Every structure is written in C-alpha cells, then in structure tokens.
Amino acid sequence: MSGNVVSQGTCSRRNISGYEGVPTHCWCGNRVSTFLSKTTKNPFRRFYRCVVARQREGESHLFKWVDDALVEEVYRVESRQTIVEGEVEVLVNQEIHDSVTEHNGCLGKKWK
C-alpha cells in the first residue's frame, strides 16, 4: 500500500487532496473500511480504504490515513464550534435586549 494515493470520498468538505474529515464512502459509492498498514514504512498505521479497492487495484479508489482524517475532523469541529458560539452570543444579546425592552416598557406604563 502506497501512502501517495489521492484521498477521495463523500464526507464533509473537499480540500486539495480530496475530502476533509473522516470519510464514509468512496467516490464510487461503496463504503469505506479501516485497515492496518503492514508496510515497513508505515507499520501498524491505520487507514481508510474503499472496500472495492482491494479487488480493483488498478483503479484509484479512496485511501486516507486515519490520523490525518481525525486531525481534519477536529479542525472542522473547532471551526463549527466557533460559528455556534457566535450564534449563541447573538441570541443571548437579543434575549437581553428583549428583556430590557420589555422591562422598560413595563416601567413606562407604570409611571404614566
């Protein structure tokens, strides 16, 4: 197994080498499984590979190292977390604004 095969799959987002994050399916539509490298260059290193790739070695099916995929997934989750934190901050500020407006409205009516 060569480590220079281009990663491809149908998961989160595309990057230069294929798709970011943990792949679930190959470009051909077949599922992806994890395997263990038995090469001297990458002994016991886990990788994702299209299940069809073993039967069709001449074709370029998904291959991706598990550790690379997990790092990409963490970055993707961190990015999404930042977005969600921003959305929560906007909602909290809106709730505070609405509460203050409602409270001020009640005070205004009371003193009229």
Alpha-carbon distances, residue 76 vs 6, 38, 62 (angstroms)? 20, 30, 20
How many domains are there within the chain?
1
C-alpha span between 97 and 95 (Å, rounded)? 5
Q: Determine the structural domain holding residue 100 and report its residue range.
A: 14-110
Whole-prediction pTM: 0.59
CB 13 within 8 A of CB 76: yes
**Residue 43 falls within a domain, yes or no?**
yes
**Residue 60 falls within a domain, yes or no?**
yes
87 compared with 7, residue with greater pLDDT: 87
**Residue 1 falls within a domain, yes or no?**
no
**Residue 58 falls within a domain, yes or no?**
yes
Express each pLDDT in 77-108 by its tens digit: 999 999 999 999 999 999 998 888 888 876 55
Amino acid at 2: S
